Amino acid sequence: MNKHTILCMFSGGIDSSGVLHSLVTDPAFRDRELIVHHIILQNRENRAKAEMDSVTAIIKHYQEQHPERPFTYTQSVFNTMGFAPLQANRFPFDMDVCAFTAANIAVARKDVRQIAMGRTKTDVDSGGQNFQKRMERAQNVFRAVYSLETETVPDYIFPVINMTKQAIWEMLPEPVQNASWYCRQPQYSEDGLAHPCKQCITCKEVQEFIEHA
Ligand SMILES: [Zn+2]
């Protein structure tokens, strides 16, 4: 296999929607095949359904609006709901699960030579040392999967690294804006619909620029 494929890890959030948007619309990526993967993270934060609804709508949007740029969509499930009897506060970090899954997909598909992640200027500017350390650990998880492989480790790419969350938001088409999910603690109404909590860090951050838009 000589083809060169990019694997886009997609959560349905604003940052990874920005990445998907760039990969689909930017001619610079047109010569590479694209796999888009969503991990259904079932944990005590209870975001899985809200994220899945976003992912479904956004994937549909790009498939319908950009038939010139087809991609393969895949998903997997990572479920730690069974940790409940431990009554512990800790469960695996999304970033680590994402790195582990991405590496295993790339090992299985040798043509995957780049992993696209939704890191932004906002993360880098405001994340501080804590964020750097978590990124480093995730990259270590990624490389660890490759310790038994002979080929070189694929590169991480960050197509929206120079953009703030707000700039990404403004770049996204309206249907994608409306479908994207950002809240860390969704509140579900009785009809099963997810609503942003309006209290968490990302809710507050996003409200700032949605109100001013
Ligand atoms: Zn929230």
Q: Are 205 and 198 spatial neighbours (Cβ–Cβ below 8 Å)? A: no
**CA 3 – ligand 1 centroid, Å:** 41
Residue ranges for the chain with pLDDT beneath 50:
none
How far is the centre of ligand 1, averaged over its atoms, from the C-alpha of 65 (Å)? Answer: 29
Provide the b/e sequence for 118-151 (b: ≥16 CB within 10 Å): bbbbbbbeeeeeeeeeebeebeebbeebbeeeee
pLDDT (0 to 100) of residue 115 = 97
What separation in Å is there between the alpha carbon of 11 and the centre of ligand 1?
16
- Structure letter (DSSP) for residue 146: G
Give the distance (Å) from ligand 1 centre to CA of residue 28: 34
How high is the pLDDT of residue 43?
87
- Assigned CATH topology for domain 5-212: Rossmann fold (3.40.50)
Q: What is the pLDDT of residues 56-107, one digit of tens each?
A: 999 999 999 999 999 999 999 999 999 989 988 888 999 999 999 999 999 9
Can you give the pLDDT at residue 170? Answer: 95
Residue given tokens 């709901």 in the structure block? 81
Mutual angle of helices 48-65 and 14-25, in 10-degree steps: 20
DSSP 67: T
First and final C-alpha spacing in the chain: 46
pLDDT at position 2: 65
How far is Cα 22 from Cα 41, in angstroms, rounded to an integer?
24
Q: What pLDDT score does 31 carry?
A: 93
Task: Say how far apart CA 84 and CA 205 lie, in whole Å.
Answer: 30
- Residue 32 is predicted with a pLDDT of 96
Confidence at residue 1, expressed as pLDDT on a 0 to 100 scale: 52
Which residues lie near ion ligand 1 (Cβ < 5 Å)? 183, 196-197, 200, 203
Does the pTM exceed 0.85?
Answer: yes
- At residue 131, the pLDDT reads 86
Beta bridge partners of 34: 6
C-alpha of residue 66 to centroid of ligand 1, in Å: 31
- Rounded distance between C-alpha atoms, residue 119 and residue 131, angstroms: 11
- The CA 175 to ligand 1 mean position distance, Å, reads 20
**Ligand 1 center from residue 125 Cα (angstroms):** 21
> Sign of the C-alpha dihedral, residues 107, 130, 80, 190?
negative
